[in-house]
Chain A
Amino acid sequence: MSDEARRRSWWEALRRLLPLAPAFAFLLVFFVYPLLRMIGLSLEAPGGPLDYYAAIVRSPLYMTVLGLTFRTALGVTVVCVLLGVPTAYVLARTRGPVRSVLLVAVVLPFLTSILIRTYAWMAILGRNGVVNQLLLAAGVVASPLPLMHNAFGVYVGMTHVLLPFMILPVYSVLTGIDASLLRAAQSLGASPARTLRTVVLPLALPGIASGAMLVFLIAIGFYITPAILGGPREIMISNLIEVQVVELLNWGFGAALAFVLLVATTGLMVVFDRFLGLDRLTV
């Protein structure tokens, strides 16, 4: 390539990347830079750069909360798979207006703020909530059941928020399955159950896996639902970070906790990308 041509291809590449520049610069200044500052702050402990991190590892409280965060996220993911996959399957098998109505039922909560939904669950699960009043009126229980301010409330609230993230990817994979494959399986004598198990599920597996990873990733960072529907024992790592920063004004320590969460999330993201391909999901 001549110098002239090389310069021109350089210029061409630059011109093509130019539209990315404003958004790139914006994210650099208001996203990357603050994160780097935060990491810097986490290393400014009075006793030495890694003191905050040592304190996290040494403290039974923080390790317990980290463990609880991952356990809760995993539990909610399992519930979302168990409820979401059958729902996506039924959704994909419906047609016309029925499908539109059912899809709205999935997307409408998706568009409603987490705060409102959590508030609604307070009204449903509270001591004088809908469920308890029905149970009391029916004579099933003698006194109200504790349905919130405990792990049950957190599971219900989180599952409600995260289910659409499970249903929508699985649904889109299922609707993309070539119908002739199903006809082939059936004409070769497979029962509907067998077709489901040996043809549909294996083809839907990438969608199920990406939905589950998405749910798990979002679940790890949950803040609002555990703060409202959980009790003192259902604290998740995000709640702990908020307490450190806002109430105890312990910025450095909060920053260290946030960095631990960031590393965990990024690690999972890389695994996610390796196995499923992130760009296939988004752009």
Chain B
Amino acid sequence: MHAGLVIVAVSTLVFLVAPLFIVLPLSFSASPYLEFPPSGFSLQWYGRYFASSGWTAATLLSVEVALGTTALALLLGIPAAFGLVRAEFRGKGLLVAFFMAPIIVPYIITAIAVYFLFAHAGLVGTRVGLLTAHTLLAVPKVVIIVAAALKGFDRTLERASLSLGAGPLVTFRRVTYPVIRPAVVTAGLFAFLTSFDELILSMFITGPTAVTLPKRMWDAVRLEIDPTIAAASSLIIAVAVFVLVSTELLRRRSASIRIPMG
């Protein structure tokens, strides 16, 4: 391979991961300022994070809303994925575009449109408001992930099950679901992360009463800039790494299940 290409690629990859490796040491800094390399080791920012009711309440609210979003997005998204993949009809491309629209339209537009409606309906600053807004952004991702798995699904398995006398429900539970399970879990994790990370819609609809973790961080980045944010960030990165690793493990496990069958 050309050396120039390798140099560009390696520098780009370093550029991509560098910020994540800067945040982690900063969160263990003994200095009260943003300074790198940190002048000493301390857990003070984690202490500050866990001692502050503002930060912990925001984290708990974010987890709560993200769990709700995951459930609702899976409930809406999985059937939609089945409908999109298995039904053939005119205008299907248009319908696919419609389901993808919430993550294609710039978030700021959705944010103010939803904000105007929620302000009118008294949903600003409520959990229900956050749950609804986050689900809007999570459903398209669930549809994409589950639909991709369904496209590769061999339907003769279902026909075999039906012809052997299993009802549609049993067939779904015993044949279809086990095959698409990894995709459903991945979709759930992405839905969780979508909500847990969401800032732009939340910025408008959290109000003063339902501050989520990203909103709390946003305020901190703009106003305080102390390493408590680094501690919070490191915890969130840990969640992301967990998601990534468990998805990869699941993928491998499902791959190893599929090999002996085929």
Contacts and interface: CB of A to CB of B under 8 A. Distances in A.
B164 interface: no
A77 interface: no
A227 to B, nearest CB: 8
Contacts of A72: none
Interface string B86-112: 110100110111111110111111101
Interface stretch (A52-60, A138-146, A180-188, A258-266): A258-266
B116 A19 contact: no
A223 B92 CA distance: 32
A26 B135 contact: yes
A17 B99 CA distance: 14
Interface in B112-147: 112-117, 132-133, 135-136, 139, 143-144, 147
B22 interface: yes
Interface string A63-93: 0000000000000000000011011011101
A96 to B, nearest CB: 14
Given A35-B113, A86-B12, A123-B23, A129 B34 contact: yes
A104 B76 CA distance: 30
A279 B19 contact: no
B255 interface: no
A83 B33 CA distance: 33
A122 B106 contact: no
B19 A117 contact: yes
Interface in B212-262: 214, 217-218, 221-222, 225, 229-230, 233, 236-237, 240-241, 243-244
Nearest to B220: A119
B33 A128 contact: yes
A41 B16 contact: no
A193 interface: yes
B105 A262 contact: yes
B236 A123 contact: no
A81 B36 CA distance: 31
Contact of A223 (B16, B107, B139): B107
Given A83-B8, A124-B22, A130-B36, A24 B109 contact: no
B233 A133 contact: no
A41 B20 contact: no
A254 B108 CA distance: 10
Chain A residues touching B, majority SS: helix
A20 B240 contact: no
A118 B221 contact: yes
Contacts of B104: 217, 265, 269
Contacts of A135: none
Most central of A196, A228, A283 by chain B CB within 10 Å: A283
A203 interface: no
Interface in A242-283: 242, 245-246, 251, 254-255, 258, 261-262, 265-266, 269, 273, 278-279, 282-283
A255 B89 contact: no
A86 to B, nearest CB: 4
Contact of A115 (B10, B12, B199): B199
Contact of B17 (A108, A128, A196, A224): A108
A113 B97 contact: no
B124 to A, nearest CB: 12
A123 B38 CA distance: 11
Nearest to B7: A86
B55 interface: no
Nearest to B218: A115
A264 B222 CA distance: 30
B80 interface: yes
A17 B83 contact: yes
A109 B200 contact: no
Closest 3 CB pairs of A and B: A221-B106, A120-B19, A19-B79
Given A24-B80, A37-B116, A102-B13, 6 more contacts: A16-B83, A20-B79, A20-B83, A20-B87, A90-B8, A120-B19
6 contacts: A31-B101, A86-B5, A113-B214, A130-B36, A242-B203, A262-B106
Interface of A: 13, 16-20, 22-24, 26-27, 30-31, 33-35, 37-38, 41, 83-84, 86-87, 89-91, 93, 102, 104-109, 111-124, 126, 128-130, 133, 160, 163-164, 192-193, 196, 217, 220-221, 223-224, 228, 238, 241-242, 245-246, 251, 254-255, 258, 261-262, 265-266, 269, 273, 278-279, 282-283
Interface of B: 1-2, 5-6, 8-10, 12-13, 15-20, 22-23, 26, 33-36, 75-77, 79-87, 89, 92-93, 95-102, 104-110, 112-117, 132-133, 135-136, 139, 143-144, 147-148, 151, 193, 197, 199-200, 203-204, 214, 217-218, 221-222, 225, 229-230, 233, 236-237, 240-241, 243-244
